[in-house]
A and B are shown apart, each in its own frame.
Chain A
Amino acid sequence: MIGNDRLAVRKTYKLYVNGAFPRSESGRTYEVTDSKGHFLANVAWASRKDARDAVVAARGAFAKWSGATAYNRGQVLYRVAEVMEGRHLQFCEEVAAAEGLSSSKARAAVDAAIDRWVWYAGWTDKLAAVLGGANPVAGPYFDFSTPEPSGVVAVLAPQQSSLLGLVSVLAPVLTTGNTAVVVTSRQRPIPAVTLAEVLATSDVPGGVVNLLTGDAEELGPWLAEHADVDGIDLTGAPAGRAMEFEREAAGTIKRVVRPPATEPDWSAEPGLSRMTPFLETKTVWHPMGV
């Protein structure tokens, strides 16, 4: 791109819903700049209707994704890492532009984001053993507990960390067998759109992840109150609005992850704390006898 007088072909930045890349049904876009204020793109500005369409897509994809074998889900998530690796340079440039990072810091963030998929990919077929098991009840019964996904999870992605933060909140939702409707960072959405292109070519079934570029402040309330959303991660909720979103979520007993006081250091190893909030435990009893 540098030292080349060829005129670049620019990309149209669209939403990612149900495996396709539609514009916002509202026709809206908004301007995104790099950290220095230079124009980058006009990205699709998702509306309430787009969010509702995304929920329909996520619900439709849930049975297949949650019903896939854990081994299969692990391989698909690993493939996300493989395909991201091929776009490493593109992600580095986009993260550097979005977050104003030096190229070495941007590379570290992209490396960590790719490695995070690998880390979570390895969890899919271990969770049931770690979080479930046989229960030694005092009677002639076989009794066992297994973790199962909650369903459709809305994710308000971090506002600062455009890729590593996004992957850190999205991957655990998928690892556990949930499907996701993600509202990306408002100011820094471009790495998310590229991630959508990766997901679309990584054997992740359409509808499992739906990425909406736009404003968490606008879409948050609709997702929080939506009756077909089972859980919501409020990490990227705008300051001062999280409590209101959590109240809305109470109306349908959603599983809620509250936002941290300040955006955390996403480079630390995550632990289980982002997977367990969107897991149910199912306990099955059966008598033993002859």
Chain B
Amino acid sequence: MTSTSSAFEYAPAPESRSIVSIAPSYGLFVDGEFVDGTGEAFKTVNPATEEVLSEVASGSEADVDRAVAAARRAFTRVWGPMRPADRGKYLFRIARLLQERAREFAVLESLDNGKPIRESRDVDVPLAAAHFFYYAGWADKLEHVGLGTGPRPLGVAGQVIPWNFPLLMLAWKVAPALAAGNTVVLKPAETTPLSALLFAEICQQADLPAGVVNIVTGAGDTGRAVVEHGDVDKVAFTGSTAVGKSIARAVAGTQKLLTLELGGKAANIVFDDAPIDQAVEGIVQGIFFNQGHVCCAGSRLLVQESIHDEVVASLQRRIGTLRVGDPLDKNTDIGAINSAEQLARIRELSDIGEAEGAQRWQPACDLPAKGYWFPPTVFTDVSPAHRIARDEVFGPVLSVLTFRTPDEAVAKANNTTYGLSAGIWSEKGSRILKIANELRAGVVWANTFNKFDPTSPFGGYKQSGYGREGGRHGLAAYLKGADQ
């Protein structure tokens, strides 16, 4: 490890966790109430301390069946026939309740996920509320979505979400589904079920009719039961490309509609005319936001050859000031890796990076003794064939490659089976627009990175999936048009 000048000392500034009360155990949320699961309960831990936070029910096939039946009843009897404006009002209520209890959600999210409170407080939770507020307004305007007159909901949506943005991914899935008139059965990730269960309480406080939202916790088997259930009309999944493929296979030959938001290996392209200081901030934001547990993370830095040394030096200097540690500390930049399993994967791929000949650089930083931690890492001398340039690491690991011409930058950026996102850094507008045009990626951030908004469609090209979340495009995933 190379040492850089460490940041000056801060006194600890932890957010109080007293705002959250976590029950020793949780059941499933089915038909408006918490019920015992019939599968074997599992523990969810705080990845920063390895402390067990709670025991959570695991949904069996029978549990999923009950949840789907409840969702079907609610769709047929209550939510489907309801005046669209009233559906919207329920969603507005949910948005407001999320705002009212925002700090509680933020602390809970950081405890269960390991992400810095600065991010859960300033990004995850406000964006989740914003998604509900945005889609609430659509509920009585669906004929303006652009699918022709009289668009119809699909019915029961089965939704499976990942652990990197537990509440936000819930909002991305649930808000448009409900606004379009569907009911949902949602399976949160195994390692981060708690914010979804707190969301169930929000549904109760909102007096949302029973069965409109059902939350079935569990692992892969539970997710499979949701996806493969015969009375589910729509499947929405965010997660790995491997699981996405198996889901696409599972729904083949059925009438289920499918949207997939899968992995990525985004190129973040820095041209020699870029504002270097801004670009370095953007690179850091692109790869170290949420410990790099971001499908759209800017994990492949493509730097024009002439400025490579300058950018890397500046980047290392900046990374040396990042604070890794207690997720609840307001000054923390990088929190805990979400699970022991994910940490093992990050370590494995990093070791392969070194074994294949890339140079690993990590700042000197003290990592807590307990919990799952990985320091921010930069690989230089990376070739496009290296696994750290091709595989999604899903951790705080940046691979640096170079290019000479804009054409080479585009060719290298597009040389991946993924196509979720990309970044461009340049002060030249015409260059930005041309490169943005040529990149085969669903989201292109120019002179910024990792920005999200409910009005802005998000989703991938190629093996990063299909369908969009956000904007009116996000509604199309939950509606049948007149001509369909």
Contact = CB atoms under 8 A, between A and B. Distances in A.
Interface of A: 130-131, 135-139, 141, 143, 145, 150, 230, 242-244, 246-247, 249-253, 255, 270-273, 276, 280-287
B453 A138 contact: yes
Contact of A145 (B260, B445, B473, B481): B473
Interface string B442-484: 1111111001010111110111111010010100100001111
A130 to B, nearest CB: 6
Given A150-B461, A230-B462, A250-B252, 9 more contacts: A135-B457, A137-B451, A243-B253, A246-B252, A250-B245, A253-B248, A255-B466, A272-B146, A283-B458
Interface string B415-457: 0000000000000000010001000011111111001010111
A177 B455 CA distance: 26
A253 B251 CA distance: 12
Q: Binding site of A, secondary structure by majority: helix, strand, loop or mixed?
A: mixed
A247 B249 contact: yes
B359 to A, nearest CB: 32
A284 B446 contact: yes
A169 B252 CA distance: 21
B473 A253 contact: no
A253 B456 contact: no
A284 B444 contact: yes
Nearest to B247: A250
11 contacts: A137-B453, A150-B461, A242-B253, A251-B245, A253-B464, A273-B483, A282-B436, A282-B443, A283-B444, A284-B445, A286-B446
Contacts of A247: 249, 252-253
Contacts of B462: 230, 253
B116 interface: no
Contacts of A138: 130, 453, 455
Given A130-B146, A253-B260, A141 B451 contact: yes
Given A250-B245, A253-B262, A280-B442, A285 B456 contact: yes
B244 interface: yes
B457 A283 contact: yes
A129 to B, nearest CB: 11
B360 to A, nearest CB: 31
A276 B453 CA distance: 23
B241 interface: yes
B3 to A, nearest CB: 34
Contacts of A243: 252-253
A242 B456 CA distance: 34
Interface-centre pick from A130, A150, A246, A250 (highest chain B CB count, 10 A): A250
Interface-centre pick from A130, A135, A273, A283 (highest chain B CB count, 10 A): A283
Contact of B436 (A141, A280, A284): A284
